[in-house]
């Protein structure tokens, strides 16, 4: 738990989410990377490995997470799967969501970090969020997530 946030993992081998160290070759904005994998292994993942849930001790009006993608070198067409952020209220109903912009194709250099934001003020307090990377077929895309924030 960090600053009033409890992290868990849905659909994982365990229900745990872990603080992870990024590969030394990867620059992270705040080095607060969260992963479904224990230990200091590469923290990139998609829905096949799980969905991270962050539950807040106090309801938020704006939430955000930084996301970065890695597109596989296989070149199976343009990437169509993207990192996402979904926001939920105390009843478990989704009250908002957003996705990463179109990821660059393989071989185009490291993609930029993008901040995924959901703002529901003043109508729908956010008590939890879920984030991962879609896996709906097509080009595989993995994601790394850093710096979850909640604004009251």
User: Which residue shows structure tokens 């030394």?
Assistant: 24
More confident residue, 140 or 86: 86
In angstroms, rounded to a whole number, what is the distance separating the alpha carbons of residues 104 and 97? 22
Q: Which DSSP letter does residue 2 get?
A: B
Category of 39 on φ-ψ map: left (φ > 0), alpha (ψ -120 to 50) or beta: left
Residue range 60-117, pLDDT digits in tens: 999 999 998 887 666 566 777 899 999 999 999 999 999 998 766 656 666 788 999 9
pLDDT digits (tens, 9 = 90+) for 121-137: 888 899 999 999 998 87
Contacts for 110 with CB less than 8 Å, ≥ 6 apart = 26, 68
pTM of the model: 0.89
């Amino acid at each position: 738990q960090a600053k009033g946030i409890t992290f868990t993992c849905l659909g994982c081998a365990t229900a745990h989410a872990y603080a992870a160290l990024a590969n030394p070759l990867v620059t992270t904005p705040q080095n607060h990377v969260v992963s479904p994998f224990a230990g200091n292994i590469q923290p990139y993942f998609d829905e096949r490995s799980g969905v991270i849930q962050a539950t807040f001790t106090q309801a938020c009006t704006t939430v955000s997470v930084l996301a970065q993608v890695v597109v596989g070198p296989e070149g199976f067409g343009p990437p169509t799967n993207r990192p996402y952020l979904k926001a939920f209220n105390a009843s478990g109903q989704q009250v908002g969501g957003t996705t990463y912009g179109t990821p660059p194709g393989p071989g185009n250099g490291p993609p930029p970090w993008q901040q995924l934001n959901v703002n529901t003020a003043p109508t729908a307090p956010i008590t939890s969020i879920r984030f991962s990377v879609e896996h709906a077929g097509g080009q595989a895309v993995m994601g790394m997530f850093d710096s979850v924030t909640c604004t009251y």
